[in-house]
Amino acid sequence: MMTPNPGFPVRLALAAGVLAVAAGGRAAAQSIDYGALEQLFGEPVTLSVTGKPQRATDAPANIDIITQDDIRRSGATDIPGVLQFVTGLDVRRSGLAGADVGMRGYNQADNPRLMVLVDGRQVYMVDYGRIPWATLPVQLTEIRQIEVIRGPNSALYGFNAVGGVINIITCDPLHEPVTVASADGGTQNYAAGSAVATGRIGETAGLRLSLGGFRASDFPPGPLAEADALSRRNPYTGTLNADGRWQITPGIEAFLTAGAGDTRVPQISPAGAYDTESLHTNAVRVGLNAESGIGLLSLSAYRNEALVSVFADTASPGPMPVLAPSDFHERQIITVLQASDLVKLGTDHTVRIAVELRQNADNSALLSGSASNLIYAASLMWDWQMRPDLSVTNALRLDYVQLDYHGTPLPGAPFTRAQFDATTLSEPSFNSGVVWKATGQDTLRLTAARGVQLPTLMEQALQVPFGQVGPAAFYGRPNLNPSVIWNVELDYDRALPALDSTLRTAVFGQRIDDIIAWPFGGALSIGPGGIPSFTSENAGYSTAAGLEVGIKGHAESGWRWNASYSLATTTDHTVLNQGSPVTSVVEYAHSAPRNVVIAGIGYSRGRWEADLLARWQSSYLDFRMAPGFAGLQLVPVTVQNYVTANGRIAYRVMDNVTLALTLQQFNQARIAETAGPLIERRLILNATVRF
């Protein structure tokens, strides 16, 4: 079992000391009142890029802000359901609770290229770098806004913010007390409920508690292989969360968040197999913001833990032995310490200096022991308001990584334990952006970035012996290079007062060097005794270019509307899927829809509210397991273009009681969104009471 490095707290204290002499200036330590800022700016605002309040169109990054009204009107029952109608996002559902989310043409099972934050805490699984969406301990009714930041933003947010960032911000218990209960029932035996309550002590302390969950009968397995079909179980989730804020003095604020979850989710693995995963998760984050003579100092620490079990069928016939629940258990722990100083230098300059220490640890039979990496990171951001209509933002970050392996490599493994422990990485990243307010209605934004995707622990240290998943062995490669993502983007935003709308456009070009292919689909070699083995590898590079254009608006008459089109084309230059007997899922040139159209219309009048959302996407290539080389192999499957449309109608029975009826995918009874189970039409009745 992995334990945190004993020198961790000492290093953080030293880093905080460095911050104390690195800058000067003053800032305020109060909690952020987003509601007051919205009234001031006349639209939703963000602070996550530079630390100062900005409209989405003024930020030096491509940001969309999804408000609580947007979330409610979507009729979604989870966050991926909200995101599927956002421009530039690719959401693939493999069941009622299983989903993968990608951005701008790069998506795959257990996608490692997306950063998800919940109130400053990163949600991340260290095995494959994936996002366990069903485990997020947050209810839709307590979310203030979801910020969608497109493109690589490693220097601003962290090492795996290479495809983009989903930043989930909940209502502050000091400024926006929320007390609400919600109940849902529907087809597929769906039953769900949630409750959120906020209490305050005077004007200085607040606590929000929330809990929720659901149970349902999942979609039929459809075209899955027999072993995959028999391993599926019906999903459920149960989560609880606490968020506390204490304004100790006008210049010092403390915060504490803690959450836990118990979930069971049928989903797809990076190897193209469908199984059922049980996760028991818990997380805690504590921190302090303090106004000082050297700026706004922020200190925080958090710990995520996940206990993972996989359900698989052991009685089904076939050439591939599989793991029973008692055979596979995994414990993942993330420990993160962060310190930053935000300084206002005069009226035109804002500087943020930060350090981060992180340990990702995984104890798993698939590693033949345990592995961890220790990441030291330092970053600097400088925002310069050159003129009232022109600003420049630059950010730099350096990540230094040490791999630590505790275990015994399997006989015949191509790497020794000494090679694992000798592995280090050092990678810089940057983000630069220029924002020009050409007129009161026109904004131009030019950005450039170098993002870094670090190898995951499974990609570096996997140990699967011959015979466990067929007549081959599978190994990680400790000396993998990180994937480096280069991106250049030009955005143009135009306010259209005559239409009560905003037009947003973006054109981007991207290149990914040293693409990482994990062992199932990686390089083939013949080991001792003639045993075939596959290892992770850096497989080449890929390029992408794209366009996004959309319009969104609303009128005082009660009408609202949105429409967008996105294009993402990718070209791969890799050694994968060229004569190898094993197919790799790293097939970006075809494994994402090239064209996507999203449209929505809604109307509110009196106590009534109605919305219609639709998404069309072109065909793409997906993969699933089928009998073949080495027991089972990945088989490419073309997912045809499809339209999915959701409709919601709601009536406010009383001022604080609302009934809503949502019909998800009302246009078609069943749709193939992936190579796995067909997604079925759903009817959901919701009752919400606000106090």
For residue range 414-424, what is the model confidence (pLDDT) as tens digits?
Answer: 898 899 988 99
Closest to 446 (Cα-Cα) out of 467, 456, 458, 432: 432
Segment 92-113 mean pLDDT: 86
Strand bridging mode 143-150 / 164-170 = antiparallel
The whole-number pLDDT of residue 30 equals 57
Q: Cβ(586)–Cβ(570) under 8 Å?
A: no
The whole-number pLDDT of residue 582 equals 60
Q: Tell me: pLDDT of 631 over 90.
A: no
Segment 441-470 mean pLDDT: 91
| CA-derived radius of gyration, the chain | 24
Assign 1 a pLDDT band (cuts: 50, 70, 90): very low
The whole-number pLDDT of residue 481 equals 95
Segment 273-302 mean pLDDT: 93
Please write the tens of the pLDDT for every residue from 180-221.
999 999 999 999 999 999 999 998 999 999 999 999 999 998
Task: Quickly list DSSP for 90-125.
Answer: EEEESSSS-EEEEETTB--TT-SSEEEEETTEEE--
The whole-number pLDDT of residue 29 equals 54
Burial class of residue 579, CB neighbours in 10 A (0-12, 13-18, 19+): exposed
Sign of the alpha-carbon dihedral angle for 219, 222, 228, 231: positive
Cα 126 from chain centroid?
13
Q: What is the 3-state secondary structure (H, E, C) of 452-473?
A: EECCCHHHHHCEECCCCCCCCE
Region of 51 please: left (phi>0), alpha (psi -120 to 50) or beta: left
The whole-number pLDDT of residue 328 equals 64
Closest to 417 (Cα-Cα) out of 361, 359, 473, 461: 461
Q: Tell me: pLDDT of 380 over 80.
A: yes
Closest to 59 (Cα-Cα) out of 49, 67, 71, 68: 49
The whole-number pLDDT of residue 16 equals 36
Closest to 571 (Cα-Cα) out of 87, 105, 26: 105
The whole-number pLDDT of residue 625 equals 75
In sequence order, the 6+-apart residues with CB closer than 8 A to the CB of 496 are 441, 502, 503, 551, 553
Q: Tell me: pLDDT of 110 over 90.
A: no
Q: Tell me: pLDDT of 43 over 60.
A: yes
- Strand, helix or coil at 230? helix
Task: Quickly list DSSP for 277-289.
Answer: EEEEEEEEEEEEE
Burial profile 629-647: b = 16 or more Cβ within 10 angstroms, e = fewer: ebbbbbbbbebeebebbbb
Task: Quickly list DSSP for 552-594.
Answer: EEE-TTSEEEEEEEEEEEEEEEESTTSS-SS--S--TTTSS-S
Assign 15 a pLDDT band (cuts: 50, 70, 90): very low
In sequence order, the 6+-apart residues with CB closer than 8 A to the CB of 145 are 34, 44, 65, 66, 67, 68, 169
Distance separating alpha carbons of residues 589 and 636, to the nearest angstrom: 13
Comparison of pLDDT for 578 and 408, the residue scoring more: 408
Cα 675 from chain centroid?
22
Distance separating alpha carbons of residues 114 and 677, to the nearest angstrom: 24
Q: Tell me: pLDDT of 14 over 70.
A: no
Q: Measure the N-to-C terminal CA separation of the chain; round to a whole number of Å.
A: 46
The whole-number pLDDT of residue 472 equals 81
Q: Tell me: pLDDT of 374 over 80.
A: yes
Query: Mean of the per-residue pLDDT values for the chain?
Result: 88
Distance separating alpha carbons of residues 78 and 71, to the nearest angstrom: 9
Segment 296-302 mean pLDDT: 97
Assign 534 a pLDDT band (cuts: 50, 70, 90): confident
Q: How many CB atoms lie within 10 A of CB 672?
A: 17
For the ranges 38-47, 56-65, 317-326, 639-648, which has the lowest average pLDDT? 317-326
- The structure tokens 């529907």 sit at 186
The whole-number pLDDT of residue 320 equals 36
Q: Tell me: pLDDT of 102 over 80.
A: yes
| Domain 8-690: top CATH class | mainly beta
Q: Tell me: pLDDT of 78 over 90.
A: yes
Q: Cβ(166)–Cβ(83) under 8 Å?
A: yes
- Which run of H or of E encompasses 173? none
Sign of the alpha-carbon dihedral angle for 308, 309, 311, 315: positive
Assign 39 a pLDDT band (cuts: 50, 70, 90): confident
Q: Tell me: pLDDT of 27 over 60.
A: no
Segment 351-361 mean pLDDT: 97
CB-facing half-sphere around the CA of 16: CA atoms within 13 A: 18
The whole-number pLDDT of residue 632 equals 59
Q: Cβ(45)–Cβ(38) under 8 Å?
A: yes
- Which run of H or of E encompasses 411? none
Distance separating alpha carbons of residues 622 and 107, to the nearest angstrom: 10
What backbone torsions phi and psi does residue 7 show, to the nearest 5 degrees?
-85, 0
The whole-number pLDDT of residue 627 equals 63
CA separation, residue 303 to residues 121, 258, 330, 361 (Å): 9, 10, 17, 11
Distance separating alpha carbons of residues 44 and 340, to the nearest angstrom: 25
The whole-number pLDDT of residue 229 equals 82
Q: Tell me: pLDDT of 55 over 90.
A: no
Cα 216 from chain centroid?
24
Segment 601-617 mean pLDDT: 97
Domain extents in the chain: 8-690
Q: Cβ(457)–Cβ(371) under 8 Å?
A: yes
Distance separating alpha carbons of residues 90 and 76, to the nearest angstrom: 16
Q: Which residues pair with 360 in a beta bridge?
A: 334, 373
Comparison of pLDDT for 338 and 39, the residue scoring more: 338
The whole-number pLDDT of residue 412 equals 83
- The structure tokens 């290149």 sit at 511
Distance separating alpha carbons of residues 169 and 111, to the nearest angstrom: 22
DSSP class of 237: E
Segment 569-586 mean pLDDT: 76
- Strand, helix or coil at 315? coil
The whole-number pLDDT of residue 65 equals 95
The whole-number pLDDT of residue 634 equals 75
The whole-number pLDDT of residue 586 equals 76
Comparison of pLDDT for 232 and 12, the residue scoring more: 232
The whole-number pLDDT of residue 324 equals 43
Residues in the chain: 691
Q: Which residues pair with 211 in a beta bridge?
A: 195, 240
The whole-number pLDDT of residue 17 equals 37
